[in-house]
Structures are given as structure tokens and as C-alpha cells.
Structure 1
């Protein structure tokens, strides 16, 4: 809003020259506003010397950053703690983690403690988010003028979708994607524009150092993009698509395209020269693998292909122009040749083609795993139905402004006979980002850039129509299009227009941004608490930050994949499944298992000692708000609906259909552990079930999303005799701090056989156990009117000893 107010203060600015005309000062003010919003989480997410990170992936970044600090400048490409006990190759490019590690070492004077690492890494996305405003400003300035650029920067500073990924604590590479891609685009398009204006060609490279320098810098940025995210080909391909459109436009206008060819070649070759040595010597490169997930020969071939495209397209368009062929003949040949090249690649380089297919599947969210991830859903979808709730939350009124601004920009730009390079790029880039944003909610942070640009442009147009500051006058020095204006406009209506825009249009955007920055994820604090307890109260595993190929940690932790990164970083324990979507099938089968012995076989296969669950893993039909249970049977190749029952509940004016979990749901390992604490007794449907034999609850958090930790134990076998055929019941009173009630009864039952023999396998000791959850009595074994009390020491549980309870008369 600072820049809008300044635009309305023309008379004052004339009296105080310099300050209000300094766009860099205004941009700095906008950055301060953005900084204040992004630092709001500092007020609630620094607790007990820890930063409560807001999202799953941030926890693995912190694990990798810590690893990098301990092995600087090398980072891990393999982690034996992931997909335990199988291990996993890490696909994330390392640039973000290397930057965070380097800054942490500087701040920590070469030996940073854990809090310094977390604090520095948490500030990094804030800094990156603010720095992104600079290339945004210059790109918008080149396309729309300085005032539109300032307004776009203001919108970007307060836009919820941009704030979401750049708040304090969001230590993830997404912020860096935006900064690096914007830098790459502004450098490339400025270089192309200068190359065109100076007539750059192969014969005069030395005389045109400035556009060549920009092209080289764009190539460096493209290489940085490869080192930032494995989806880098998406960003770089936007330049290729733009170049094709620009070639066609130049052919239509009978312009020599050599400037574009030279610029594209310099950029792609520079990127190739930087990436190739790293790719060829990487783990995958040495194996001559072609995969886009890891740095490999895919990236060498990809960048080489772009260089070939620029060289071949430049030669083709020039040749066709020399032959005076129709302008559309060269684009048609390029499209045909591209299709033929894809067919050739499919036959000659099937690995390369497979990666292209996998990339398209990723963008469409078509894989089985991706379909379980909420952020992969289409932007206009919520719970499977058409909804505008996500655009409203992340863009608010800026979404509508951006649509109107894009239409207005097309209306003012396309009719012109000389559409500039930057304008063509902006339109092509925006159309591609719109498609990506509509395909998946996760790309709202990318769409935020273009929404900021065009909503800022729409505000600019509105101010211009109000006659503010004579905005309608063309600024020929920047090649700005002349905008329609309503006249000179007095200061009073101008101020009214500014306040209307500020209050009605931008305040909802600012309000949503503050709300996002002020809201802590409901599960973060509880999982931090639980994993801190796990780290401090369970046997330490080896190779915490040296988990390379060949290392074998002693045991792992079973949980759902959403929480694996919490366990890896905060808990410092290996995880079966994590946010790389590893180990999901075994985790899914474990939690839906209706038979404890089958669940145990999975625990044994995965060498797990602990199980961690939370309320969110349950079903929303069973009271778990935002419950994700349906994803679990889905990944176990089962029908989620088979876990529910439907019935009608009578009401005063009729009846209402109710959905609840059925016996299959409440008999699952998840439900027995979470709802019944593994203790058995009456379940939610009123049935009586036995307690789990090999799982004891060792910790439970008390927050809004309770996390429970169970230890997998051998269990002690209690044997005895009773009347043949009689029912024998076992009970043990437990004290559970932090639970719904302080006391819980462990229950199990058995039928004495024809010889009167019965047995129970129990997980809880009655003595010698130092844990948080303790027995407050001995085991009571009852049959009819007879009762016997049995003491079970901890070593009997841990070693699987047999204890004879004697005779029940």
C-alpha cells in the first residue's frame, strides 16, 4: 500500500523531491512490510530451544543441512535411515541445503549448535522470499513500467500464496525455486532484448558483450535451477517454449532470428558446461543412468538437446526466410521434427523418454501415491468437488484482479504490431504457469508470481483510469504501451480511488497472509514433542549423521509416511516410510491389519521396535478432523469404503444418514492402538476385544493432535490352569499421564483347554520398568470366583520369559 499512497501524493512529492521518486526506497519499504509478515511465526514456533518447523519436508531439509555441516561441503546422496532397513538414494538437489549449511557455519562461527542451525535455516526462506521481489520488479518493469512493477512487488510481498512458502521456519527449496527461476527469466529475456536491439550474431560477439554477459548469467541461473529442484526441466523448458513462439513471431514479421539463436545457445551451453561435470561424476552419472529424479546423464542430454534446438531452429528459420517460404512453414517443420525426435528418443533412449512420461504423470498427479496427497489435487477441487476455497485462501481478491489484469494486458498488447520480446515471454510463461497451477494445488507458490504481476497491473490500470499522477502518459524510454486515461484527475478523487483499492481490494489479501503466517499446523507441536521424547528416551541408533551406503542402524520406527521426516530429524531414528513416499505399502498393510500376528510379521520384516500414530491418521467419520485414514487402505490395495458402515439416525423431522467405522475399521491395528491404547476391553462399537500382546504404550502427547508411541516387545507368557472350558480373564491397571483419563485397564481373555491349560502373552511389566506409563497393580487373573495376582518383571517382557501363575480353583 506504500507505493499506492505515494502515487496519490503528487503535489507533496513535488515539494519533497528525491525520496518519493526513489523507486528503490519504495521497494525497500515493501520488503520491510513483507519481512514483518513473514516473521510472525517467530512469536509461536520457538519453544524450548527448538524451532517448530511448519511442514513435513522441512524436517528432512534440516536433517540434510545438519549432515552437510558435519561433512562440509559434502552432502548425503544416500540415507540408510530412510526406507528402513532398505535405505534410499536422495533425489533432492542440494543447493538449498548447501546454502543453509554454509550460512549456519558462518553464523555459528564454524561450530553451530542445533538451535543456531534451525534458526538460520528458518530465516533463509524469508530472505529468499524478499530477494525474489527484486527480479520480479525488474521483469515487471521491463514489461509494464516502473509503477506497475512496484505495485506487483507490493502484492507479492503480502500475497498469501507467496507468504505460505517463505515464512519463518519453512526451510524448503520451494522459495529458492521462485528466486532462481525469476532470476533466470529476467536475465535471459533482458539478454535477448539487448541482442535484438544490437543485432547480435555469430560474427559480432565481441562487439556485443552486454547481451552475451546476460546470456551467460542466465545459463548460470539455469544451472542453479538444476541444483535447486528435480523439477528444474519444467522451468527451463518454459524458455524453450517461449523461444519457439518468438521464432514464429519473428518469421511472421520477417525478422532475422540470429540474435535469439545466439542468446539461447550461449545460455544452454553455459548451463551444460556447469552441470555436465557434476552430472557425469554423480552416483547415477558414473552408472550411466538417465533419470530426472537424480543428477544424471538426463540433465546432460536435456541441456544438450536445448542447445541443439536453438542451433537447428535458428538455421531452419533463417533458411526458410531466405527461401521466402511462408512464415508458418518453419514452425510446422519444427513441430513435425519434434514429434519425430520424441519417437526416436522413445526407441533409442527409452530411459530418457520414460523420464519425460514420468514428469507428465507427476504434473497430472496421475500416480497411485500422488492421488493420496491433498496438495496434488487440482486447484479448483476440494474433497472431489468444484470449489474456489483454495484460490480464495491463497490469493483472495488478487485472483480476480489477476484474471482481469491478464485480459487487459492481452487487450493492450496483442493488437500492437510490434509486441516486444518481454511481452511475448510474459504471456507464454503465464499461460504455462496457469496450467501448472490448475493441475496441482502445490504450485500455488509458482502461480503467486504471475498473480502478483497481473493483479498489480490491474491496479495500475485502475489508478490510471482514475487519472492519478498522469499515469496514462506513455513512458517511451521503457517502451511502455500507452494506457487509456480518464483525464488529469484531481487529488481528492485520486485519494478516494487509492483508499478504495487499498481497503476493499488489498486488505483481504493482507488479512489472509497474516492468518496463514499466524497459524501453526495442528500436528507440528505434538510430533515435535513425541519425537523429542523418542530421541531422549529410547536406545540411540548408530550412524545418525553418517548413514551412508553400507551402514545398518539397529532398529526402525513404523509410522505413516506423512510423519517419517519428523522421526528422521527430530527423533533421530530410522523410519520405514517417509515423505519420499518410501515404504508406504508395508506401512499401509501394517495399520489396516486385523490380525496382530500378521502385523508382527511386517514389524519383523522391517526390523521395527517402535510404532508412532496420531489422531489425524484416523477417519473423519470416526471423529478425526481432517483424518487421512482412507489413504491407508487405498495404498494397501483395499477398498476404503469396506471400513465403514452406513445407517440412519432418527431425528425429530425425519432421519439422517450416518457413516461410522465398522468392525473392520475398529479391529485394525491403527484403531486398536489409537482408540484403545492397545489395551483391549470395550471398543467404540461396544464389542469386547483383547489387548495387543506385543505392544505397550510408552508415551502420549497431550496436544490437539495426540501422538502415541508404542514399543514392540517380545512379551511375557503367563501360563496356568483352570477348570477345563472355563473363561479366564486378565486385567492390569495402568497409569497413563497425558491421556484422556489417568487410569487404563489392560484386558485379555482366554478359554482353558481340555486339560485346563490357559496362557496369555502380555506386554506390560508390573515391576522394574522406568518408563512413563506404568502398572499400578499386579496382573489380576480371574476365572469364576477365583483370582490370582501375578507379578511380571521387566526382564520377562524384554526377554520373552514364561511365568507360571499357578492354579485357579
Structure 2
């Protein structure tokens, strides 16, 4: 067990150099780990108060706490204790980084006991070793730096399963009934009671660590229902299921109700409450049918009929309860833009096409071996009178597979099942090869004789090492070389935001007051939003200390959800797919409820948004047509960006550097990186007679939305008037900004760049004109400088 724990911890801490960077920056993986860091920092600074409302994201509304509190509260408490009540930032970062790796390694312990109590100690030890080296999402979500609640989900559900299995075993060995409890014979209940209580506490902890915990409660509910039917059909008492179910679900419900701010999580609370009343009803039906000596098959018919009647009555009398039922039926379904969320896509799918590659990447041989075990155990259950705990294993496994096939994220749950089931097959192979007899012989003789070992035991060990273990270990070692998270370009750009843009006027560590229901948070006048795609919202908030409009909770995206006929709501998707500057600005201003204010002051784009991720933006609007068009090339018909793409706001900003735009200016760009950018530019030049340089520009670009200074002057009617200036970016790149118009005796240009540099208290931009604007028409050329105040206030400059 210790070896399994240490192996698991070692694999998970291999890439620590990519977390603790040489420049002192600590890079957490993915997106949500950054928001957990946000929560932890807030709790530590306001210990033990939780950040129930965060005004520092989803501007201009803020958001109620999205994550369940237990994961962050436990982590914060550990940090607070280790720091003697005053931990420094270095301690916070280090503990947060190592915490998921530690939790991932701990999973070997309940996995061992689940397998041991289901089968035997040997299966438990092999299962612990297999889960220690398991690859895929189970590994990636417990790597150093991936400080997210997902690994806590796996740990806590395995602990729930562990205690439930023991409760079922003890309850079978020491049966109890309602009658014995009513008669005061609590001694019959006592052996199993502790395990039922511990299962309930564990389910409660799971429910407080993830708001989607109704998922595993649903699995337990399905199992208890199935076991009721099996027991009744075999003329066994179901009393233990009713009592155990009430204890488990009742304790979990009480734990959730003890946290007032969770009262809005109706689905979870209703699900737990349903469990506390449904199972006694199922048992009472069984008792009544037995009393009346009715046919056994009446029982499943009665349960099914009761369920149907309950759904019908719920639809008529209680929309909230019916909503719970329908929510469970479609719990894992995603449509439209939701399908672009990586963890929510189906498991056996790559780019929308069927593929078994993700199955191999998550489980290697364990995935296929576990399927063999399922078939064997299912056959055994059908032919024999299966034990309740093994029935639970099958129901648990089938339900996880069902969820996993719809959303690949649940692969990190199935890794435990795969390890246990594969270990069961592995020990069966060793027994068939003669290891059990060999060990019994060694015990009997009390000595080891190497001559007694034959070829089959040796081959069976090689099978375990080469087929069961090596593929997983090899895959894990490959996958553990990196941790993900923001690349250097995003780190640089986010830190630039923190240092070079005005303070939004909110204390980052403040305990914000939750606005009353139906009311909005009252931001100070100095507050503003930062518009980017939702993937990057937490980085902007936690690294950049600025307020994103959209975030990885899929808030602030806008667009449509169900039908193209819906209103295309303002948000990130509608802004970046807008087909003109005017349309984009209308979206930006519609984001804010105050017509005098815009929803964002800065726009942050990266090359992924301009290329691969652009389709995701269109998907969230449900209007994906014609952004990409088929074109005949030497290599055959290829799909390339079309006019609708190049007219989009994202393309205008990132591909064209906001050239010619009136109220948007680039203020900073990160160093360039290799990407598909030059390919997109080549298409534009080839198909639309463009002449933009085929170069990779800043990987991340920051733009500012400003009023723009209005430059007006006189010129002969009918003259083509042009205003232009060369822009020098902070990485030494230049491009020409220009606009043209036809004079009607006068001309007017709205320009976003200041030629005289930044001013105190405003954006400290490092991308700006190299000199004054040049206005030309006919043989006339004039120069004009523009002050930053003129740009910010929209002042008129007469030439």
C-alpha cells in the first residue's frame, strides 16, 4: 500500500518544474484550478469566511459562488494552520500545487478496501497498484498544479462506495428488520450502523465538494432500487435497504442543509430528500405484497407504476419536482455551444467523429480488461444468487459508463472501477496459473523451493506486468510530462494588464456583499470589464487582477442555447462574431445595463481565438454558416476562412490589428508564437486580393475600447482624404493605421490612438504611433498630434 501511494505521488509530481517556474511564477494547470486558487486566497485572507459572491468576475453582474465550499475550505484550513494563522503567498501556492497530487495518491487507500471487501486482499493490493499508475483524466486531474475539486470527487465517491460495501456485507452477516428495531433490539443494527453512518457522512462531504453530487446520489438510488427488486424476487427482506438508505441520504441531506448558502441548490437537496422517503416506501410495498402472498413480479411492476404515477402527478401538481426528474433525465446532455466544452463532449469522439482513441488514452488495457470482468460478473450474477455488494459494483460501473459515454469528464470516475475490475481478472489469471496452490504449498512446507515454480505461474506474472501494468505506466509517464495552464504569452499579457491598466476600484480580497435577489451588484464608477473568450476569464481575474466579462463557468458568453430563432444575447460570442465595428460596439454597450456605460474597456484576443477556437464562438450563437467556405485548390477542395470570417470582430482585431477602426486600438501584444495565423493571412491575400504581411504577430493582443478623438477639417468637395500613421508595437513590429473618406467640403475622422503617449492614471500603453497623424488629399499633406485625453473623452480637434 505504501509503495502504491508513493508511486502515485511520484508520477503526479514529475512535472513540478513546469509548475514552479524559474522566474518565481507558479503556474496552475487548466482553467478552474485558478478559480480554486482565487477562493483559497479569499478564504485565507478572510478566514474562515467563504467568498459566496464574487464581484471580480462576469462584469457587470458578478456571480454567486459556483463551486461547492468543502474542497476550498479544507485546503484553506490546512494552509491557515501551516501558516500559523498568517500564511504568506509562497505557502499558499505550494500547498495548493501539491494538494491534488496528494489527494490522487490517497485514492489508492479506498480503492484497496473496496476491492478487498468485494473480493479479497490480493485483489485489493493489485487494484491499489493499478489505480496508482492509471493514466488519462484520473491522472491529469490529480497532477501537481491541477488544483481542482475533480480528484476530490473521485476520492469521496470511492470512500462512499467503500463504506456502503462494508455496510452491505455486515448487514448480510448480521441481518436486521423494522420489527427488531421497533422491538428495541438495536444490537442487531449496531454492526452495520457505523458503516451506514460513515457512508452518509462521506456522501455529505461529496455533496459539499461538488454541486453536481446528485450524480452519485442518483447512482446510489438506482442501486438501492435494483437491490430492492432483487431481494423481493428472492424472498429476502429489504428492510436493511430502507434503513440504510434513510441513514445515508438523511445524513447527507442534513449536512447540506447546515450550509445556508447552498439552499439554492435545489436539485441536490431534492434528490437527497427523495432518497430518504423513497426507500422506506419501496420496502413497505414489498412487505405488503408478501403479506398478501402476491406474485413476485408484481413488485417491479408496482415500483415502475408508482414511478410513472409520481412523474405524472409531479408534472401536474409540482413543476419543481418534475423539473428535478427531467433534469436527471437530461443531466449529461449538451447541445450547441455546450458541445465545444472539452470535458463535456462524448468520450468516444474526436472532432465530432467516433474514435476509441480517448478510451485507450484514459484506461489503456484496463479499459478492455474491465469490460471482460463486467461480462463475467454479469453472467455470474445472472446464473447465481449475487451478493448485494457485487450487485452494487455492477450498477455503479454501468452508471459510470453511461455518464462517461456522454461526457468524457467522468472517465476520472471510471478509472477506479477499471482498476478494481482489472485486478479481479488479474488475480483470477494468477489463480488459474497455479499461484494459489503454490502459495498454499509454501505455507504448508514453511519453506520456499524454487523447483516448485512451474512455467505457468511465471508466464502469468509476465502477463500482469506486461498486459495489465506496463501500458498504463507507460501512458502515465508520457502524460505526466506536462501540466497545462496558461502559456508564457498569456502569463505575460495578464501580468501586463495588472501593471498597466487602471485599478478597477475593487479590493481583490474583499468579502463582497451578495446583492439581494433580483438586484445587481453596485460597482464603483471606476470599474470596467475585460472582454475575452470564456476560456481565459479566470486567468484575467487571478493573474491579471482585472474583471472578465466571460469566464470558464460559461458565464458572459451570450448567444443562443436552443434555437436560432432565439435572441442572440450580448456577450463574448456575439461580440467576437459581430460583422462590423458598429455591431460589435452595440454588443459591448448592451452588456452593461446602464446605457451610459460599456460592458468592457479592454478586449484580449489570442491567436487560438482567431483560428481554431473561432468555430466555438460561432457555435454558441447557433449560427455557424458561411464563416468557412469550400475552395478548389491544387490539393483538391479545401475549407478555408471566408468573407464572413474576415468581417468578424475577432478577425478585424487579431488578424488585421484593428487597422482602420475608430474606437479600438491595440495597446500591447505578447511576443509572437508559431500558429496558423500566417495560413489565414495567406488565404485572405489569395482570395480577396489582400496584401497583409505573412507573419506571426503577437500571440496575445490587448485592445482598448475608447471614445476616439474626432479630427475635422476642410478639403475640396469630392477629394479623397486619407489619415494614416505608423504604429510601433512593444515587440518592435510596425503596421500602418489608416482611414479614408470622400470630402463634402469637410471631412471627419474618429481615431483611437494618442500620438503623445500615455497619461497618469490611465492605460500605460506601449504600442503607439511613431509620430503625428498625416492627413493627405490632392497635393496637400498635414500633420496633427492627438492627446490621450482627447482620445478618452472624444474631443474634437480642428485641423
* TM-score, normalised via structure 1 length: 0.85
Is the partner of 1:312 in helix, strand or coil? helix
- Distance in 1, matches of 2:710 and 2:46, equals 47
Tell whether 2:737 aligns with 1:747: yes
In structure 1, the residue matched to 2:629 is 645
Report SS of the residue matched to 1:646.
Answer: strand
Instruction: Please say if 1:268 is aligned against 2:249.
Output: yes
* 2:49 partner SS: coil
Residues 430 and 460 of structure 2 are in contact (CA less than 8 Å); yes or no, is this contact kept in structure 1? yes
Shift of 1:693: 3.6
1:633 to 611, 618, 641: 618
Distance in 1, matches of 2:274 and 2:513, equals 34
Q: What corresponds to 1:721 in structure 2?
A: 714
| Structure 1 Cα separation of the partners of residues 171 and 438 of structure 2 | 30
Q: For the structure 1 residues 413 and 791, does the alpha-carbon distance in structure 2 shift closer, same or farther, using more than 3 Å as the test?
A: same
The residue number in structure 1 matching 2:657 is: 677
Q: What residue number does 2:330 align with?
A: 361
Match of 1:789 in 2: 783
Shift of 1:500: 4.2
Q: Find out whether 1:191 has 2:167 as its counterpart.
A: yes
Q: Report the 3-state secondary structure (helix = DSSP H, G, I; strand = E; otherwise coil) of the residue aligned with 1:40.
A: coil
1:545 aligned to 2:535? no
Is 1:590–2:582 an aligned residue pair?
no
SS, match of residue 231 in structure 1:
helix
Separation in structure 1 between the aligned mates of residue 452 and residue 122 of structure 2, nearest angstrom: 18
1:17-43 residue CA offsets vs partner (Å, 9 max, x unmatched): xxxxxxxxxx11011111011012312
1:613 aligns with 2:605: yes
The corresponding residue for 1:758 is 747
Q: Which runs of 5+ in 1 are unaligned?
A: 1-26, 286-293, 475-487, 620-626, 681-689
Distance 1:196 1:522, change over 3 A: closer
Moved more, 251-260 or 571-580: 251-260
Cα distance in 2, alignment partners of residues 784 and 490 from structure 1: 100
What displacement does 1:784 show? 3.9
Contact in 2 for aligned 1:140/1:148 (Cα 8 Å): yes
Q: Shift of the alpha carbon at 1:277?
A: 3.4
SS at 2:625 equivalent = helix
Aligned partners of 2:374, 2:581: CA distance in 1, in Å? Answer: 59
Tell me by how many angstroms 1:792 deviates: 1.9
Residue in 1 that maps onto 2:691: none
Which of residues 199, 211, 218 in structure 2 aligns to 1:237? 218
| Distance across 2 between alignment mates of 1:701 and 1:511 | 35
What secondary structure sits across from 2:315 in the alignment? helix
Aligned to 1:129: 104
For 1:697 and 1:379, locate their aligned partners in 2 and report how far apart those are by CA, in whole Å. Answer: 41
Matches for 1:35-54 after TM superposition, within 5 Å: 35-47=9-21, 48-54=23-29
Partners of 1:55 and 1:199 in 2: CA distance:
49
How far 1:164 moved relative to its partner?
A: 1.4
Following TM superposition, by how much is the alpha carbon of 1:692 offset from its aligned partner in structure 2, in angstroms? 4.6
Q: CA, structure 1 residues 439+329, in 2 after alignment: closer, same or farther (shift >3 Å)?
A: same
Unaligned 5+ runs, structure 2: 442-450, 515-520, 559-570, 593-598, 676-698, 759-763
1:534 and 2:497 aligned: yes
For 2:121 and 2:301, the matched residues in 1 are separated by 38
Q: Partners in 2 of 1:494 and 1:428 — Cα distance?
A: 33
Tell me the equivalent position of 1:513.
Answer: 476
State the shift of 1:154 in Å. 1.4
Instruction: Give the counterpart of 1:223 among 204, 215, 220.
Output: 204
User: Are 2:553 and 1:559 aligned?
Assistant: no
Q: 1:799 to 1:352 in 2, by over 3 A?
A: same
Closer, same or farther: CA 258–771 of 1 in aligned 2, 3 Å: same
Q: How far apart are 1:424 and its partner, in Å? A: 0.8
Instruction: State the match for 1:694 in structure 2.
Output: 664
Output the CA distance in 1 between the equivalents of 2:603 and 2:644: 20
Matched position secondary structure for 1:106: helix
Q: Please state how far the C-alpha of 1:670 moved relative to its aligned partner.
A: 0.4
- Confirm or deny that 1:427 pairs with 2:416: no
Provide the residue aligned with 1:20 in structure 2: none
- Distance, in Å, in 2 between the alignment partners of 1:774 and 1:471 is 80
Q: 1:328 to 1:51 in 2, by over 3 A?
A: farther
Q: Against the structure 1 CA distance between its residues 618 and 196, is the aligned structure 2 distance closer, same or farther, given a 3 Å change threshold? A: same
- Superposition pairs for residues 247-396 of structure 1, below 5 Å? 247-278=228-259, 281-282=260-261, 285=263, 294-296=264-266, 298-366=267-335, 368-396=336-364
Q: Tell me, what secondary structure is at the counterpart of 2:545?
A: coil
Q: What residue in structure 1 maps to residue 723 of structure 2? A: 730
Please list, as runs of the form range in 1=range in 2, the aligned pairs for 1:170-189 lying within 5 A after superposition. Answer: 170-189=146-165
Aligned to 2:7: 33
What is the root-mean-square deviation of aligned Cα atoms in Å?
A: 2.4
Question: Kindly tell me: are residues 773 and 89 of structure 1, through their superposed partners in 2, closer, same or farther at Cα, counting changes over 3 Å?
Answer: same
SS of 1:446's equivalent in the other structure is helix
CA contact (8 A) 2:53 2:63 kept: yes
Distance 2:509 2:705 in 1: 25
1:792-807 alignment runs, 5 A limit: 792-805=786-799
- Secondary structure at 1:152's aligned position in 2? helix
CA positional deviation for 1:637: 4.1
Does 175-184 or 308-317 show the bigger shift?
308-317
Deviations 1:355-392 (A, max 9, x none): 332343331224x4422323222111112211111112
Distance in 1 (CA, whole Å) between partners of 2:268 and 2:400 is 22
Q: CA deviation at 1:353?
A: 2.1
State the distance in 1 between where 2:333 and 2:500 align: 43
TM-score normalised by length of structure 2: 0.86
1:704, distance to aligned residue in structure 2 (A) = 5.4
**What is the distance in 1 between the residues matched to 2:131 and 2:503?**
45
Aligned partners of 2:299, 2:188: CA distance in 1, in Å? 30
Residue of structure 1 in register with 2:692 after alignment: none
Report the number of matched residues: 726
Q: Would the aligned equivalents of 2:213 and 2:268 in 1 still touch at CA under 8 Å?
A: no
Residue 401 to residue 525, structure 1, CA distance change in 2 (3 Å): farther
Q: Counterpart of 2:154 in 1: which secondary structure?
A: helix
2:174/2:191 contact within 8 Å kept: no
